[in-house]
Amino acid sequence: MALTKYKWGELIQICDDRNYDGKYSLEDIKGISIQKRFIETKANMEDVSLSPYILVEPDSFAYVTVTSRNGEKITIAHNTSDQTYIVSSSYVVFKVKDPNLLCSDYLFMYFNRQEFDRYTRFHSWGSARETFDWSAMCEIEIELPDILIQRKYADIYKSMVANQQSYACGLEDLKLTFDALLDEIKHSAAKKPVEALLKEVDSRNDNGEIKDVQGINITKQFMPSVADTNGVDLERYKMVKKGQFAYSGMQTGRDECIRIALYQSDDPVVISPAYTVLQVKDEAVLPEYIMIWFSRKESDRRGWFMSDASIRTNLDLNCFYEIEVPVPEIKVQRTIVEIYYAYISRRSISEKLKAQIKDICPVLIKGAMEEA
């Protein structure tokens, strides 16, 4: 077996079947994301005629010719479902001419590489809007291995995708369970103000031994401070130990976010004196549970509503103390924390699986070509 050179125009053909009979409705309209997936359309479809929309049948492709202001990517997707979609007439829809010569899943692996994104951007033309049109697509040259080799490597790719999708479904089920449990607690558990749960601590870096200066961001994570600390007296800085919180009431209204983070590393750090350091008052409440509650958008909206009318729209400490948190018994708190961290861990694994799938495409294409 050997590689055979083709131009794409010899292997793919345009599809231009329209929704003239009105068979397909709003529920069938799709857009395409820069992650190369079909998604629900974001367009305003009020009073829009669906008659000229193009059909994307199973195993067909669709792409948007405009590549400028698109994250340096081409927007293209493969319909791997058993349903027919419809897309705007501005899209280009196409399919493989001969499935015994070119495997459509192998073709999508080819598209799903950074090399292809770079190629389409480099070969895009236009002034106000740069486009990679159908004629340019047809001029791409490719060396294809035998169809059996294509299918072999496409099957590897599909099995990885199926594994990731299965994992993502389980992840979504876990999130639904977690959200339902929190919603139940919100309505059943006794509510306590933050002042009854947390207390301020003020331990300073008296000997200046701790040099790790941190801040907190709007994602409620500790991060290395971006402030210039050269010449700054770090002995004035506050220490934060494991299980303690850093809180800043500044710009809560502007960012629509309560800036609070739970420190979970073993080695203490220091933060600016402008922050408030808090810890739980007793063992009747878990710090992780408190942090979970303040990680919710609902809590951020509450903080935004309570922030003052100053230029910085602050949520000062006294106002923060007034916010009420539902506090179930400690056993229930532990269950919530366990489910939450299981979800976070599985979400991280899911994101890694997605990254592996993206990175594996050029590896599989190279493997197929070398095997030929």
> What's the CATH code of the domain at 77?
3.90.220.20
| Tokens, residue 66 | 């405009």
| Alpha carbon separation from 237 to 211, 215, 245, 274, 330 (Å, rounded) | 10, 11, 15, 9, 33
User: What does the pLDDT read at residue 311?
Assistant: 59
Answer whether residue 291 shows pLDDT above 90.
yes
Residue 134 lies in a domain: yes
User: What does the pLDDT read at residue 120?
Assistant: 94
Name the strand (E) or helix (H) holding 38. strand 38-40
Claim to verify: residue 140 and residue 9 sit in the same structural domain: yes
User: What does the pLDDT read at residue 151?
Assistant: 96
Which residues does residue 141 pair with via DSSP β-bridges, in sequence order? 7
Mean pLDDT of 207-227: 91
Answer whether residue 229 shows pLDDT above 90.
no
Answer whether residue 244 shows pLDDT above 90.
yes
Residues 185 and 187: their CA atoms lie apart, in Å, by 5
The answer to whether residues 329 and 190 touch, using CB atoms and an 8 Å cutoff, is no
Residue 349 lies in a domain: no
Claim to verify: residue 114 and residue 206 sit in the same structural domain: no
Answer whether residue 168 shows pLDDT above 90.
no
Neighbours of 140 (CB within 10 A): 18
Domain endpoint, select from 114, 144, 174: 144
User: What does the pLDDT read at residue 198?
Assistant: 97
Number of domains composing the chain: 2
Residue 354, CA atoms < 13 Å, CB-side half-sphere: 12
Residues 325 and 196: their CA atoms lie apart, in Å, by 10
Mean pLDDT of 346-368: 87
Claim to verify: residue 48 and residue 140 sit in the same structural domain: yes
Split at pLDDT 50, 70, 90, the class of 310 is low
User: What does the pLDDT read at residue 252?
Assistant: 80
Q: Identify the DSSP state of 29.
A: B
From 16-20, 161-165, 326-330, the region with the lowest mean pLDDT = 161-165
User: What are the phi and psi torsion angles at 177 (to 5°)?
Assistant: -60, -45
User: What does the pLDDT read at residue 309?
Assistant: 63
- Buried/exposed 266-280: b ≥16 CB within 10 Å, e otherwise: eebbbbbeebbbbbb
Claim to verify: residue 132 and residue 204 sit in the same structural domain: no
| Tokens, residue 39 | 């998604």
Residues 89 and 79: their CA atoms lie apart, in Å, by 17
Please give the residue range of the domain that contains residue 294.
190-327
Residue 185 lies in a domain: no
Residue 303 lies in a domain: yes
Give per-residue pLDDT as tens, 325-356: 999 999 999 999 999 999 988 888 888 888 88
Give per-residue pLDDT as tens, 65-88: 999 888 888 999 999 999 999 999
The answer to whether residues 273 and 238 touch, using CB atoms and an 8 Å cutoff, is yes
User: What does the pLDDT read at residue 60?
Assistant: 98
Residues 40 and 25: their CA atoms lie apart, in Å, by 13
Residues 266 and 237: their CA atoms lie apart, in Å, by 18
User: What does the pLDDT read at residue 239?
Assistant: 96
Average pLDDT score over the chain: 92
Rg (CA), the chain: 27
Give per-residue pLDDT as tens, 132-161: 999 999 999 999 999 999 999 999 999 988
Claim to verify: residue 308 and residue 217 sit in the same structural domain: yes
Residue 357 lies in a domain: no
Residue 305 lies in a domain: yes
From 68-82, 158-172, 199-213, the region with the lowest mean pLDDT = 158-172
Residue 369 lies in a domain: no
Split at pLDDT 50, 70, 90, the class of 1 is low
Domain endpoint, select from 307, 327, 347: 327
Please write down the long-range contacts of 199-202, taking CB distance under 8 Å and 24 or more positions apart: 199/278, 199/279, 199/280, 199/281, 200/276, 200/277, 200/278, 200/317, 201/244, 201/277, 201/278, 201/279, 202/238, 202/277
Residues 372 and 94: their CA atoms lie apart, in Å, by 27
Claim to verify: residue 58 and residue 123 sit in the same structural domain: yes
Domain endpoint, select from 112, 128, 144: 144
Of all residues in the chain, the percent with pLDDT exceeding 70 is: 99
Mean pLDDT of 82-107: 97
Residues 254 and 177: their CA atoms lie apart, in Å, by 32
Angle in degrees, 0-180, between the axes of helices 147-188 and 104-111, rounded to the nearest 10: 70
Mean pLDDT of 245-264: 90
Among 272, 190, 263, 184, CA closest to 220: 263
Claim to verify: residue 108 and residue 212 sit in the same structural domain: no
Residue 59 lies in a domain: yes
The answer to whether residues 42 and 69 touch, using CB atoms and an 8 Å cutoff, is no
Residues 15 and 32: their CA atoms lie apart, in Å, by 17
Select the highest-mean-pLDDT range: 98-107, 224-233, 312-321, 350-359: 98-107
Claim to verify: residue 139 and residue 205 sit in the same structural domain: no
User: What does the pLDDT read at residue 251?
Assistant: 78
Give per-residue pLDDT as tens, 103-134: 999 999 999 999 999 999 999 988 778 999 99
Claim to verify: residue 98 and residue 201 sit in the same structural domain: no
Q: Determine the Cα angle at 154 with ends 97 and 101, to 5°.
A: 25
Claim to verify: residue 135 and residue 195 sit in the same structural domain: no
Can you spell out the DSSP letters for 315-368? --HHHHHH-EEE---HHHHHHHHHHHHHHHHHHHHHHHHHHHHHHHHHHHHHHH
User: What does the pLDDT read at residue 127?
Assistant: 74
Answer whether residue 189 shows pLDDT above 90.
yes
What are the DSSP E strand ranges found in 190-338?
Answer: 191-193, 198-201, 213-216, 222-224, 238-240, 245-248, 259-262, 269-271, 276-280, 324-326
Claim to verify: residue 121 and residue 235 sit in the same structural domain: no
Claim to verify: residue 208 and residue 323 sit in the same structural domain: yes
